[in-house]
Structure 1
Amino acid sequence: MIRVLIVDDDKLVRKGLISAMPWKAFGMEITGEANNGENALKFMETNPIDLLITDLSMPVMSGIELMRIVREKYPQVQIVVLSLHQDFEYVQEALRLGAIDYIAKIQLEQEQFEEVLGRIVKLMERKDGARGAGEQQEKSPAKASELYVYYSLYTEDLRNVTSVPAIVTEAEPGIWYTAEPPSASAAAADSNVALIRFSGLEDMDGKSVMQLIRTYGKKHLFYDYHPEKPEIRIQAGELADRDKDGGAIPMDKLKEKWSAANWIYEDDLFREQLRELRELRMPPVRLARIFFSLSDEWNRLYQAILNEPIAIEDFFPSWHRFEEWLQEVRERIRLANTKPLFSPEIQSSIVKAMSLVQQNISEPMTSSEIAQMVNMSGSYFSQCFKQYVGQTYTDYVRDIRMERAKEYLRGTSKTIQWIAEQIGYSDEKYFSRLFREHVGMLPSEYRQTAD
């Protein structure tokens, strides 16, 4: 049984998670709850846990501070973070500190509970498997100048591995090596296995070679593998330059670029952003979690035109597969946005306007202001926007704000005034009246029905 501790300063969130999530169905049990980091650490002193689910923004001790201490004192504990959409940068810091996943509070709908817990269990199993492999007695290879190493791209399921020859030695689950060159048939591309030829090993002992093999699998294989490459050749010396720290990843700029619409319509820009993203060579789990957040933003932005929401895979075995997914997303949005009456430039301007509304929901921006920002005249913008989106700019903004308000009402216990300000209304009474006209009940009544 996986023992879970939930930490959040919002009592409503804690109680909601504890009572609504199907913990037992996924082999989990709630062993405790805490309202800040300090109380969580006190609880952990006397109560063993396996999974910590923590908010990031809390009084007394933040979730980030809590994570740093837990990583040092309880390295075996796995961590999932809770966040609101505004916590994007904090989420990235949490992922840097080793969080395996995060849960967006305002996404927690009844039908998503099983999906969320299922994903967490898979990630825990994958990380536990990697940790267990590291604790096994190391099977270091004998001294050799060259080594052929086979990596399974799906270490959680080795049943489909067929191209690894019988002469290999298993270093750990999902990694095999041999000094014997593979036959032409064995070297053929396999969608489940990558073959890496390491050279320049003559001055390295077995333990150093094993460390090299493991490090390559964790940090570089994801980006190097391509199904059309039957064999990847690596010189041991060249990995030292790759491992140098390239500095902090500019997460705010990264999110801004991929939240904008330009990459969807401009091929050169899409290729350039892909190149920049690949050069960051961030850990695959972190890359997936960042784009999980971005896919949520895209669903918000394009919900009016998409037949089905954009879904992201729980696990990408390679950069090649991630790039395929991103291209599929781009094509879906482009096709959904295709309106024969409008030029690509006008379509791009309208989508950019929709993006600006989403990103600046707390700022009251008129139709003429938005038109100026996307280089269109006010009257022509209003006409094109209504034909393209299917509703006037004013109605679109109101609908977006009301949907965001419902999410805040479901996912937080913040005051009505706070929620009104977050979506661009300074007057709580005016917001409440609009909400009732749109939803059929007051915000306070909606919150009670959503509990």
Structure 2
Amino acid sequence: MYRLLIVDDEPIIVESLLDLFERKAGLELEVYGVCASTDALDMLERTKIDIVLTDIRMPGLSGIELHREIIGRWPWCKVIFLSGYNDFEFIQEVMRNGGVDYLLKSEGSDAIVCAVQKAMQALTDAIEVENLIERSMKQTQKIQPFLQKELLWRLTQSDAHSLHSIGEQFRELNIPLKAEEPVLLVIGRIDEWREGTSAFDKALYLFAVQNIADEYMGATIRQVSFEFEEKSKIAWLIQLNHDLIHPGGELEARQRTLSFVKGAAEMIQHACDNLLTMKLSFAVGTTYREWHELSDLFEHLRLLMSRGLGLGHELLLLEQKSSEVAVDTYDRELRNQMKKIALIQTLLENGQKEQFFAEYVALMKVAAAGSETMDGIRTEIYFTLVSIFLSYVNRWKVRDEIGDAVNLGKMTLLDWNHWPEITDYFSQLAEAIFEWKSSGQDFQEMDVISQVQHYVLHNLAGDLSLNRIAEMVGHNPSYLSRLYKRITGEGISEFIMAVRIKKTQELLRENKLKISEISKAVGFLSEQSFYRFFRKVTNLTPQEYRDQDSKSTDASRM
């Protein structure tokens, strides 16, 4: 929401323009009006103004001089000059000072509204182009390696969204791979870190390993890499370099590339041992996989490096036939569901109840459908959920609140052979946590509403702009506006108006202050605005209201 300040030494002009913009409900504007350039300066000192609609010829500071003061305080502020004179000299001066527009008062209200809309659009465009797009591009370049790593990791985890838009994301993140081509996978492992190696040094070593690999492979194949598992492993995704392939020779090129990758892995091992005194092991995929098949190969190679021979040093392991590892793998759907346990924890933390239960039910349903050979997996799921829920209860100190609804002592005593009972128990526990979070949210929302109302009641003469109120309660203005309307059924501006009119009536009945003093006490910058506001609400001028109240009081005493 932008703020518009109307400045003109003729009160009738200010009042009519305030009326004009009040009737334009579609404009997201806070509108203020003053009848002197000194009052305008006072307001510019106290609050941010985005657009100024000002007369050029005024006593004191002219519109041109006021403009210089405006840009000294708020450089992005757009100024619309309004004049009763078609004066070419003034127009030239306006353009030299960068005024956004110049209008004659005789051009009418539609032209004025259009000029303000144009200024609002210019502000929006400036924010989007200068602040968001340019900065976003710079930030994207800085964080591009992290975004690349995140995408590649998700692809190895069968993330549906990432798989759906691979090509577009590769282009956006400058990843030199093709969505329509199969991929070869290699996993490398640092066999052992020297004692005392810091996290920073580990990152440097991994970077060095990736650079060495790029030196050996970069000119022959297209490849990207990322580290995972707490800086202990690196994955390389590899495709053919079509610039080096003769027409019709793709099959031969694939075999040649596979042989090249095996040889390059040995060279990388040797170089890392000599240059970094670091031992590496590799697990090499020997089949090209489509992107939606990549997660199976990824899990297979990880498993290969975590059992038997895979526990040795400086290994070069090759992808095995699926039948040879079937004993060590479990149902693909259950494996995919197991990957979502971290998501389930995040959804619980964030209070996303509907999505939490969708993922939770899917996980428990797949686990329940497995055979007896899945008992070990069910045990893993059970104790993982125990850890998640216990951690939440202890961290947020809600044992007493949740314990009233669910017997927390039962959590570690359940017989995990009775899967329906376990499923129901954790479901009840999650319901209790979400209910507690919801009640806490309701309390906090009402506290925000109370803070807003308290601030308004005690600062009627101060800055009651939405931005200032939002700043005081620590929320985004747009969010605060929506929250207040949802909770109370009325807008913040409507509440402010009601408080102002109530306070004005109280002060008028007390008959201690002059009307000009009451105007300032309830937050109006000019008496004209105050009179206009009061008459609009009560159909009486402040003096008429005071006189009417006095007569009523006298009559009651008789």
TM-score (norm 2): 0.25
* Higher radius of gyration, 1 or 2: 2
TM-score (norm 1): 0.29
Structure with a larger share of its residues in helix:
2
Task: Flag the structure with more relative contact order, 1 or 2, with Cα contacts below 8 A and sequence separation at least 6.
Answer: 1
